[in-house]
Amino acid sequence: MNRPRAEPGGGPAPHHRVAIVGAGFSGLGLAIRLIRRGTTDVVLFERAEDVGGTWRDNTYPGAACDVPSALYSFSFAPNPSWSRSFSPQHEIQEYLRDCARRFGVLPHIRFGHEVTGAAWNEPARQWEIETSRGRFRASVLVSARGPLSEPRLPDVPGLDTFDGPVFHSARWDHTHRLARQRVAVIGTGASAVQFVPEIQPDVAKLSVFQRTPPWILPRRDRRVTRAERALFHAVPAAQLLQRAAIYWAREAFVLGFVGDARRRHARSRIARVAARKLLESQVSDPALRAKLMPHFELGCKRVLLSNEYYPALTKENVEVVTEPIVSVRPHSIVTRDGAERPVDTIVLGTGFDVTGHGAAARTVGRNGTTLADAWAPRLAAYKGMTVPGFPNMFLMVGPNSGLGHSSIVFVIESQIAYVLSALDVMADRGIAAVDVTTAALRRWTEEIETRSAETVWTGGSCSSYYIDGAGHNVALWPGTSWSYRQRTRKFDLDAYEVHDRRHPMAAARNGHGTTEVSPAGVPLGVGAAAPAGVGSAPAR
């Protein structure tokens, strides 16, 4: 693309300073910060008809967060009204709706606009964006789709020939009744651990097909008392203190995941003992217990929390199948040992396509190179956010910016600070476009490789979606979330190629406040003070 394409009516496509793809935590958080600082020329494209991202889509029975509520929320929008210490899905969704309303984001969202393609226009120094409802242009493009937006389907022969309902946990069919059905659950990850106990009492037979048993720790969930909620409403600093305590406690978990194997093993001993004790106390059958005991290092795969999963698996109408599936027939599932199990409904708890290659193939940078092309050898982005050849494009929760021990919202706010700082530097210096250098990305990737070498994710004895086919950690930040925040606090212009200083497209700095997110946890709050009225949020 060399010039802005016109709308059907003949006029040029609308132009915005910042275009954001996705209205989940990342997209809303960035939009809120932009609007609060006076940058109102921002648009969000959301393919659905509501905000919320993964918390809008994942409505399966028992859906809830496995990070404490006080930490899994924006630092600038604490919610004193959480009903439980671990929030259920509907409260998180309502929290995000409330944030979108209170901070004035809704008028900026284009609902029902699925982004079908984006291409960098080099002469104009802007992005041209194709959506299902028209074309747009933007000086800066931010992909906030999130890594948990596209369900991953298992590669099982015959799955498409099954005669009954088949649905993924992220696309739960609430119109289909499971009562007295023979149900097969494929996958035993975070979603399955939550919905299996919910559906077990209703079904006639539940066959749980397990490839690898997860490490499961007790879920320290409880109802937040009326007195606690009253305190948080009256004294917001009390909730910030709670948030800080949770943050630093969670930050300590990473010590069991990094360092050499001997030190990791010693540091994670308490967690392993707690997990084994939970399994032994809730599963009395030695054969079933052997099936459910992980044989890889704790933390290599996602550590799960549940008090109900193991008890559900001990019920008479449940079986745990560890033989691999070889085929699906119209009314049954066949495993490698030759056994054929009659099935009425199949529920897929098989996770998500965290690589985002579908959207990457439709994102075109300089010289016609797609993001999928750039990621062909290895998924990588500088600080998890920028890729050479894709000027003025930022990724939220991109490669190597995920966490295995704490709240991803903390990472999101760190990345928001980096994007805002980049916008300010561009405005202050009259820069129309910045493009991270290949040298900067190479140094960053080498650092990730070196730091990952002595972690549970690459030094352990299991494989996971964190690791690509070549054995590289492409998903997680191999360190503390605090260290990641320090690396993203300010935009480092020296890592970028600069184009067209004093270009007329470079907007003037608005001067509304600073660009940095308050450094969490120093010394108290793990976040910034809430603006007036924020403390009255009805839900997280």
For residue 136, what are the CA distances in angstroms to 142, 200, 419, 420? 14, 48, 21, 22
What does the mean pLDDT of the chain come to? 90
pLDDT attached to residue 460:
59
Domains of the chain: 15-150+353-521 (3.50.50.60), 159-215+264-348 (3.50.50.60)
| Residue position matching structure tokens 């789709």 | 145
Would the pTM count as exceeding 0.85? yes
Mean pLDDT value across residues 268-294: 97
Residue-wise pLDDT for 107-130, tens only, equals 999 999 999 999 999 999 999 999
Look at residue 518 and tell me whether its pLDDT is greater than 80.
no
Tell whether the model's pLDDT for residue 531 goes beyond 80. no
Within 379-535, strands assigned E span 393-395, 431-436, 496-501
Region 282-289: what's the mean pLDDT? 98
What is the predicted pLDDT for the residue at 70? 94
Q: Are 432 and 267 in contact (CB under 8 A)?
A: no
Question: Tokens 């700095």 appear where?
Answer: 509
Question: What's the CA gap between 280 and 352, in Å, rounded?
Answer: 31
What is the model's pLDDT at position 77?
Answer: 96
271 close to 109: Cβ distance less than 8 angstroms: no
Which stretches does DSSP call E strand in 258-360?
Answer: 304-305, 318-321, 325-329, 332-335, 340-342, 345-348
Instruction: Report pLDDT for 226.
Output: 97
pLDDT above 90: percentage of residues in the chain:
82
CA 198 to chain centroid: 24
382: alpha, beta or left, given left = phi > 0 and alpha = psi -120 to 50? beta
| pLDDT score recorded for residue 41 | 97
Position 534 scores a pLDDT of: 30
